[in-house]
């Protein structure tokens, strides 16, 4: 289980969300509150949109809490849309190539969860990835494979449909192999304009996921200054502070889209 | 606060103590039981004696729990005397050069604790290190500085005396600077023959320290198979399993020497 | 293009070959003599047999020339059979998972060269790997894929036949994709008893490969002390010193087997 | 010997100078043209000014040529003033803490060269650093020590005078210790407004240093598009392309100041 955070809105310095809140993502890397695994120290990653269509990517294998580079980048870089992820491995090795987010062209993807029985279904799932996409795969995680399979399923054209089709294909392979461990996921996707998120599991026990919307005016005393307003959206594994009014839970089986500060949540059912 | 373990006795594969016990040192790196900081993920180190007088050294900045190299080395290398250390930084950076153990010639040293007010006393303490020794200092920790200062104070000739003198010198500098934070330490030292350990603090709140003696016959179901016999000694931050009969606490203000399976504990009072 | 060295014979400290010769493998990491790419700084690896059937593995992403851990391990560990490899990437990322040697059970494999058009044939080659083997694949190199495909082709039963069949299969896929870049390789394989090596390319321009046999009595003034005698064999990318009498070139299209100090070289022709 | 580059002028994407020119700094990391050591693979660093007074810092121990993070940051970040450095160690360990640039408050400093006999004079030089500055020292290089000593000598008030005084102090210590190896340096310093550079050695054999001034309009076919105009200045270890008209050599014993696109070079003689 990992922890992640996605932000879309007015440009802000990334450390406003990554370092300053009392339960910041970096704090979660050492001691997550709502996760089976409290320590998310198996690498981290940052993806952000700047002046280019193609997003920047910074990933490393150290725990996020001890990386001076990450602190400096988060302070310096202001971005209108960024993803951050701290990793707790579910079996694959700690390597930059296995750290989220993953990037393809102008797109970013990150994931928390697990494809049950991944060693048993991996080769088949990889074999379904479109050939021209497959050559971009660098690591060995289920998450990266999901992303490339979904890209071939039309992720850039109709994200909800492609997520559903990809989940269905993978669950089909899991059944075929007699896998009994569940498929559980929360995932985020963006092209630099829209932010998409999914929360789904085959057993109704998805990892936690929250969202919020408003105007962010920095962070004070560990608390995010979140005012009413329409310009910013966050989707994240767990709340950044203890002000319950800030954070809405994303229901099981949901697909969320945020654009221009507006959030739409619809039901997500790959087998509907 | 860090966690460490020192072994001296019949040659054993290092993973017998580092990986196999239910509360193994590697387990402690993720989740220590008797430490303020449960996570010791800011690097680790291994020092061991083999065929040469000079010990081997393997240190890296990853958390110990995720390093495949460490697992392989611990499985492969059998040693009659080894030190292992998992680090939780008290402020200095995560760097191989700041990882324990430290080596000088045929000697190994490792430490858990903190010299209170280190930033304030550091330059003076470093200035007291003997010049020919100082050039071997590579990092910026209080621990490494203690080691080199102690070497100049005769550590290789009379370890107990040199420890006491070094503590007294540093406490003197702390007082001179008006430092109010305590000096607390547990430390281990060896030349490949004898194993020395100290537990001391200026406020009676030293980090935990234990020792045991006997014949080690591997590890079964997470429990160290420790039989009566005189050939092996362990000194360590916390017990490796839940069998209380195995582990003796080292009292505050103690100096322990182990040689040929025999353990002597004497009082350690730098201001006595 | 990478550089590698394999040793089988009387147990020796690994630094005798890795650090001490004037053109040692570590020296080759900074400045290889017989390679298109003089710098082999994209990670390195060490595999060695000790007391266990399963070999030890130490791989890291630093250049070999600057890794203090490697120096210490090479000094400390004596081994009767070891592999060492310094990597110059031909395109895949610098990651521990892409560093040689690769290990499966009691077997080690390492490789220098390139499967031409790897991005184009990769997915098909991976799809041919036996499913129970595929789950052990961790990286994305052509080298590791070759190893697992060969394992499924009977590498552990008849190495020469499996090498030939694997080469033929891959060349078949390359032709099918219209790849015009060549397949070139030198590779080493061992189970801890026998040492196998191959030199082959589809265009007669294989990377360099040498072997020698004799009794190694250390290294003096940068020169390997190689006396007559039957106990030790080396196979390596380039000579370790300038004494031409020491080093025999392995011909193009050769398969070498060393066991108990005896070396047999036979012709290797996957399409014969 | 290392290689470095400093830029001050209109904001540009850092990869314009770091990656795109035919002899870019990243190319120099693998194969420098005007350096005794062609390989500068012992870590690298990037310091840049953005929206804050305090500059950003990104340093790592990999060779610059293989770091995907560096490539991404250089593409994404536009900056009006940045420093980049690729390191070839002259003895101290490869560690982030020993990588340039070094930062103090709003200031950046980087260095190429060597204080002769550093192990012999280190403790004395460190002892001369002002106490409140010393606590910021993290590594063990001569370069970082020079920076902190110079800060205490008024570097932020009168850079030329502080450089001269610091050189004189260190040379005094070298003489006192009977050091015969030379002190040679090229160094760069900035507060985010002005860019300072020094080229000096005690034996007239300083590392190479060049500067140029003009309007940078990107990079085409490996050649920097440098037009006449007053807005940008570069100071760097070696030319980025083969157009000799672009690059002016900085004479031995020079102190250069660049501000608002204007460059002043004056003589630098610490013993004048």
CA distance B32 to chain A (A): 12
Task: Please check whether residue B53 touches D, CB under 8 A.
Answer: no
Please count the other Cβ atoms lying within 10 Å of the Cβ belonging to residue C98. 25
C101: preceding bond cis by omega (within 30 degrees): yes
- Is residue B22, in this structure, part of any structural domain at all? yes
DSSP, residue by residue, A215-243? EEEEEETTEEEEEEEEEEEEEESS-SSS-
- Is C39 within 8 Å of D62 when comparing Cβ atoms? no
Q: Are D143 and D248 in contact (CB under 8 A)?
A: no
DSSP state of D31: H
Give the model's pLDDT for residue D139. 92
Q: Where are the beta strands (DSSP E) in B49-167?
A: 56-60, 78-86, 102-104, 107-114
Backbone angles phi, psi at A66, to 5 degrees: -110, 10
Selection from D50, D55, D11, D24 nearest residue D190 by Cα = D55
Give dist(CA A209, CA A35) in Å, integer. 11
This complex has an ipTM of 0.94
Provide mean pLDDT across the span D165-189. 97
Segments of chain B with pLDDT less than 70: 36
Give the model's pLDDT for residue A38. 80
Task: Please check whether residue B97 touches D, CB under 8 A.
Answer: yes
Q: Residue B59 sits in which domain range?
A: 3-267
Q: What is the pLDDT of residues A125-159, one digit of tens each?
A: 999 999 999 999 999 999 999 999 999 999 999 99
Q: What is the pLDDT of residues C152-201, one digit of tens each?
A: 999 999 999 999 999 999 999 999 999 999 999 999 999 999 999 999 99
Give the model's pLDDT for residue A272. 77
Picking from C27, C30, C39, C68 by the largest number of D CB atoms within 10 A of its own CB, the best residue to mutate is C39
Task: Please check whether residue C72 touches D, CB under 8 A.
Answer: no
- Is residue A181, in this structure, part of any structural domain at all? yes
Nearest CB neighbour to D63, from listed C31, C63, C93: C63
Q: Are D186 and D205 in contact (CB under 8 A)?
A: no
DSSP, residue by residue, A157-196? T-HHHHHHHHHHHHHHHHHHTT--SPEEEEEEEESSS-EE
Q: What is the pLDDT of residues B28-72, one digit of tens each?
A: 988 877 776 788 989 999 999 999 999 999 999 999 999 999 999
Picking from A28, A29, A44, A62 by the largest number of B CB atoms within 10 A of its own CB, the best residue to mutate is A62
C38 pLDDT more than 90:
no
Q: Which residues contact D261 (CB under 8 A, 6 or more apart)?
A: D9, D213, D229, D230, D231, D232, D233
Picking from A56, A74, A78 by the largest number of D CB atoms within 10 A of its own CB, the best residue to mutate is A56
Q: How confident is the model at residue A230 (pLDDT cuts 50, 70, 90)?
A: confident
- Decide: helix, strand or coil at residue B102: strand
- Chain C residue nearest residue D90, CA to CA: C66
Give dist(CA A192, CA A169) in Å, integer. 27
Give the model's pLDDT for residue A118. 95
Nearest CB neighbour to C66, from listed D30, D31, D94: D94
Nearest CB neighbour to A95, from listed C95, C120, C129: C95
Backbone angles phi, psi at D31, to 5 degrees: -160, 80
Q: Higher confidence at residue C33 or residue D99?
A: D99
Give dist(CA A185, CA A206) in Å, integer. 6
- Is A75 within 8 Å of D52 when comparing Cβ atoms? yes
Contacts of C73 in chain B (CB under 8 A): 56, 58, 73
The tokens for C117 are 């058009």
- Decide: helix, strand or coil at residue A111: strand
Selection from B264, B261, B262, B263 nearest residue B10 by Cα = B261
CA distance A16 to chain C (A): 31
- Is residue A10, in this structure, part of any structural domain at all? yes
Q: What is the CATH number of the domain that holds B195?
A: 3.60.20.10
Picking from B139, B142, B149 by the largest number of D CB atoms within 10 A of its own CB, the best residue to mutate is B139
Contacts of A52 in chain D (CB under 8 A): 75-76
Contacts of D96 in chain A (CB under 8 A): 68
- Lowest mean pLDDT: which of A69-73, B19-23, C225-229, D30-34? D30-34
- Is residue D272, in this structure, part of any structural domain at all? no
- Chain C residue nearest residue A129, CA to CA: C123
DSSP, residue by residue, C107-151? EEEEEEEE-TTHHHHHHHHHHHS-HHHHTT--S--HHHHHHHHHH
Nearest CB neighbour to C41, from listed D41, D89, D93: D41
Give the model's pLDDT for residue C73. 97
- Is residue B119, in this structure, part of any structural domain at all? yes
Please count the other Cβ atoms lying within 10 Å of the Cβ belonging to residue B231. 15
Nearest CB neighbour to C72, from listed B57, B75, B76: B57
Contacts of A63 in chain B (CB under 8 A): 41-42, 63
Going D72 to D73 to D77 to D80, the CA torsion angle's sign is negative
- Is residue A272, in this structure, part of any structural domain at all? no
Task: Please check whether residue C69 touches B, CB under 8 A.
Answer: yes
Chains contacting B (3+ CB pairs below 8 angstroms): A, C, D
Instruction: Identify how many contiguous H helices and E strands chain B contains and give both numbers.
Output: 7, 13
- Name the average pLDDT for chain D: 94
CA distance C84 to chain B (A): 15
Maximum separation of any 2 CA atoms in chain C, in Å: 52
Q: Which residues contact A257 (CB under 8 A, 6 or more apart)?
A: A159, A194, A195, A196, A263, A264, A266
- Is C57 within 8 Å of B51 when comparing Cβ atoms? no
**How many structural domains are present in chain A?**
1
CA distance A123 to chain C (A): 7
Task: Please check whether residue B69 touches A, CB under 8 A.
Answer: no
Q: Are A15 and A94 in contact (CB under 8 A)?
A: no
- Is residue C53, in this structure, part of any structural domain at all? yes
Please count the other Cβ atoms lying within 10 Å of the Cβ belonging to residue A4. 29
Contacts of C50 in chain B (CB under 8 A): 76-77
A269 pLDDT more than 80:
yes
Q: Are A219 and A16 in contact (CB under 8 A)?
A: yes
For B1-23, give one letter per residue: b (16+ CB within 10 A) or e.
Answer: bbbbbbbbbeebbbbbbbbbbeb
Provide mean pLDDT across the span D129-156. 96
Give dist(CA D209, CA D249) in Å, integer. 6
- Is residue D212, in this structure, part of any structural domain at all? yes
């Amino acid at each position: 289980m990992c922890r992640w955070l996605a932000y879309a809105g007015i440009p802000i310095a990334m450390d406003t969300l990554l370092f300053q809140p009392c339960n910041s993502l970096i704090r979660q890397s050492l001691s997550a509150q709502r996760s089976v695994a409290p320590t998310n120290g198996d690498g981290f990653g940052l993806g952000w949109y700047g002046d280019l269509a193609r997003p920047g990517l910074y990933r490393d294998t150290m725990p996020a809490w001890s990386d001076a580079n990450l602190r400096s980048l988060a302070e310096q870089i202001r971005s209108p849309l960024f993803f951050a992820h701290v990793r707790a491995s579910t079996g694959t090795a700690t390597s930059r190539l296995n750290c989220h987010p993953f990037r393809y062209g102008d797109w970013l993807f990150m994931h928390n969860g697990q494809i049950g029985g991944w060693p048993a279904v991996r080769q088949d799932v990889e074999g379904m990835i479109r050939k021209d996409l497959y050559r971009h795969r660098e690591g060995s995680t289920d998450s990266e494979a999901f992303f490339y399979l979904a890209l071939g399923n039309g992720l850039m054209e109709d994200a909800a449909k492609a997520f559903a089709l990809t989940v269905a294909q993978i669950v089909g392979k899991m059944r075929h192999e007699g896998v009994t461990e569940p498929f559980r996921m929360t995932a985020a996707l963006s092209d630099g304009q829209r932010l998409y998120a999914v929360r789904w599991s085959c057993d109704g026990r998805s990892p936690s996921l929250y969202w919020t919307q408003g105007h962010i005016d920095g962070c004070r005393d560990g608390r995010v200054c979140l005012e009413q307003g329409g310009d910013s959206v966050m989707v994240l594994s767990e709340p950044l502070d203890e002000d319950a009014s800030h954070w809405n839970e994303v229901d099981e089986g949901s697909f969320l889209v945020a654009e221009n500060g507006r959030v739409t949540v619809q039901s997500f059912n790959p087998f509907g």
